[in-house]
Structure 1
Amino acid sequence: MLLLNIEYIPGKRIEALGMVKGSVVQCKNFGKDFMAGMKTLVGGEIEGYTEMLNEARQIATKRMVDEAIAMEADAVIAIRYASASIMQSAAEICAYGTAVRVIGEA
């Protein structure tokens, strides 16, 4: 599945099939959350949260792609990500874009 954050596929004519999305709400376990809290005292990257968000983006992207496959799409264009804090140490990640089918050369 071709995934692009631009609104076209270079050199191709496409047919829009519709919006597809995937989302996940994810949190870290208490031990990692406690250590992240301690990290805020000294500064620097909170690696546990970076890992959590990377994993959440991968899950959301896969769910979006699964929706596109169900629509028999060749690609998803105009992909965007959004995030929101649901509660302390939990975040929602949403991936969305437009499922398209390639219908010929431009």
Structure 2
Amino acid sequence: MIVVTTENVAGYQVTEVLGQVFGVVVRSRGIGGNLMAGLRSIVGGEIHEYTAMLEEARRHAVDRLVKNASAMGADGVVMMRFDSSEIAQTMSEIVAYGTAVKLQRR
């Protein structure tokens, strides 16, 4: 599955647009992670616990995007983007979204 953030895929032609596709992940740090992150925020700098959690959540969101696109019969996803939000100040929602397409090599 080819996933790109661009409108076109080099060397390929979009032959069919199948529609919007997305992958959603909602994550919450455990109490230990929140405690460590809270202590780190006092000192300042990167909060590694949250960075690792969000990187993993993005990977899972893309995996779900690819799974959903495959279920639609897509060969690729164009214009892929990420969005994120906070839910109830304890959870993070990560969404990977784009347009599922059929591709043909030129």
TM-score of the superposed pair, with normalisation by structure 1: 0.93
Number of residue pairs aligned between Structure 1 and Structure 2: 105
Q: Please, what is the CA RMSD of the aligned residues?
A: 1.1
Where 1:21 maps in the other structure, the secondary structure is: strand
Q: Give the match for residue 76 of structure 2.
A: 75
Aligned residue number for residue 20 of structure 2: 19
CA drift at 1:104: 4.9
Letter in 2 for 1:59: H
User: Residue type of the partner of 1:78?
Assistant: M
Write out the 4+ residue segments of structure 1 that deviate beyond 3 Å after TM superposition. none
Partner of 1:28: 29
Amino acid aligned to 1:98: T
Unaligned runs of 5+ in 2: none
Which amino acid is the alignment partner of residue 11 of structure 1? G
State the one-letter code of the partner of 2:2: L
3-state SS in 2 of match to 1:7:
coil
Q: How does 1:1-106 map to 2 (within 5 A)?
A: 1-14=1-14, 15-105=16-106
Residue type of the alignment partner of 1:10? A
Q: Which runs of 5+ in 1 are unaligned?
A: none
How many Å separate the matches in 2 of 1:39 and 1:96? Answer: 32
Report the identity percentage: 45
1:49-82 CA deviation, whole Å, 9 max, x = no partner? Answer: 0011011111111111111101111111100000
Scaled by the length of structure 2, the TM-score of the pair is 0.93
Distance 2:11 2:37 in 1: 46
